[in-house]
Every structure is written in C-alpha cells, then in structure tokens.
Amino acid sequence: MTEGTGAALLLVGCGKMGGAMLDGWLAAGMASRVVVVDQAGLPESVAGNPLVALASGADALPDGFVPDVVVLAVKPQVMDGALPSYRTLVRPGTVFLSIAAGKTIAYFERLLGEGAVVVRSMPNTPAAIGRGMTVAVPNSRVTAAQRELSDRLLRAVGDVAWVEDEGLLDPVTAVSGSGPAYVFFLVEAMAKAGEAAGLPADLAMRLARATVSGAGALLDASPQQAADLRKAVTSPNGTTQAALEVLMAADGMQPVMTAAIAAAARRSRELAG
C-alpha cells in the first residue's frame, strides 16, 4: 500500500456487517480499490462507485489485483467452503481480517496455510449502524503497519480494542458480542415489570425502550463512569434507591449477570473451531 492512497481491499461477504464496513471505508476514503465477492451482488449504497468492483470468487479477481487486506465477513458456517480458494492470496503483505464469530487463528492458519497473516476480530451488532465494539487479536505475522491498517478498517464501524491473548475472546464474546441481547432483554423485563405495576402494555414498552436507549446515549455522551451517573440519579431514600436496593442486593442482578456471562463464555469455548 502506498502511503496516503488508501488500501486495496477484498471483501468476502457483503451482508449486514460487510456492507456496513464497506460504507464506512468509502465514507472515510480508506480504500484505493475494493473488490467484493458476494453472490447477491453489490449493495445499492455503492452502485456506480468507480472504486468498487464485484467478482464471482477468488479465481475471478481483476487482473493484477493484490489486496492489502482480505476481509472475511461471511457467516462462520460457510467459512469452511469459502476459505480454501483464497489460499493463493497468502503472502506477507496481505492480512486476512476475519469478523466471523468463533473462528480461531489456528483455524485460519490451518485452512489458509501456516504463512497466513491473520487478524481475528469480534464485533457486535451495533456495528451495523457504526456504533459497534470490536475486539481484535493478531497472529504472530501481523506487522505494526498491518495492525494499524486493520484497526482503521474496523474503526469504520465503531470502537476497537486489541488483545494479545486469544483466550480473552471468549469472555469478550460473552460481554460485548452477546451483550446487545442482554440490553434488549432489559427493555423487555422493564416493560413487563411496568405492566405488573399497573401501566398499559404499550406505554410500558415505550417507556422502557426510550429509557434504555436514552440512558445509553447519555452514558455515551458523558465523560463520567456508569456508577457516577447512577449515583447522580439516586437521591437518599428516594424511588431509585428503593429499586437499587433490590437490584444491588447480594442475590440481585450482579450474581445473575455474572452467571449469564460465564455461561456465554463457556459456550463460546465449546463452539470455537
């Protein structure tokens, strides 16, 4: 890659995640060229963009196209079938950047060959609207420049953290990967509790949804810690304190959340391949 000209990217799988990343790269001017492999064709958002081309597979890339990064954004269950055809692209200058849940670095080295330069990452669903949290781990062949480039590509869909220990991706999956579902369930639980307290169902749901999304936006906009924001809305002997005494009791929400996240991390270890 020539400094300042953007990277040559091959995007394998252009669905929800791949499509969101592609839009982000183009908006940020990060790509000199993007070749997309997806039988569904190019998304409408990139129609007519001269930097983007469609290819039918690894054996049909444009002449002379050598990607700096091959972004693997297909579902984990189709990776076995898709990956071997990309072995021909393995070289020190090309990073294979995977966002597929549960697919390990050892898996990619096995299917692509020992020389493969691999970054494994775990994004979450808010990445589809540019608000994701992604954790990435490099294999030993990734150079500092390749890590920096991978970081910028992932940053197009939200925040990015790097870890060196791949084992951390199981608890990462349990906290941020699966986490959006816990938050959606919080909305359901608050709405149901509101109904039990006497609210009409539709009003209870509207209040729960607006409160969770509004509090999330407030947390995002504030430099304060979550605990400080919580304390700021808790007056002594008030209504919030009455609820928090239940939620924060020894048998309250913390042990349930700890058990839930431990179960997800355990399942992530079982599924890893």
Ligand X SMILES: NC(=O)c1ccc[n+]([C@@H]2O[C@H](COP(=O)([O-])OP(=O)(O)OC[C@H]3O[C@@H](n4cnc5c(N)ncnc54)[C@H](OP(=O)(O)O)[C@@H]3O)[C@@H](O)[C@H]2O)c1
Residue 24 is a binding residue for ligand X (CB under 6 A):
no
- Residues in contact with ligand X, shown as a per-residue x/- string from 58 to 97 under the rule CB under 6 A: ---------------xxxx-x---x---------------
Q: Which of 12, 61, 136, 160 is in the footprint of ligand X by CB under 6 A?
A: 12
Nearest distance in Å: CB 256, ligand X: 24
Nearest distance in Å: CB 17, ligand X: 3
Q: Which of 31, 38, 107, 170 is in the footprint of ligand X by CB under 6 A?
A: 38
Distance, CA of 174 to CA of 179 (rounded, Å): 7
Q: Choose between 150 and 191: whose C-beta lies nearer to ligand X.
A: 150
Residue 262 is a binding residue for ligand X (CB under 6 A):
no
Q: Choose between 49 and 85: whose C-beta lies nearer to ligand X.
A: 85
Binding residues vs ligand X (CB under 6 A):
12-18, 37-40, 73-76, 78, 82, 99-101, 123-125, 177
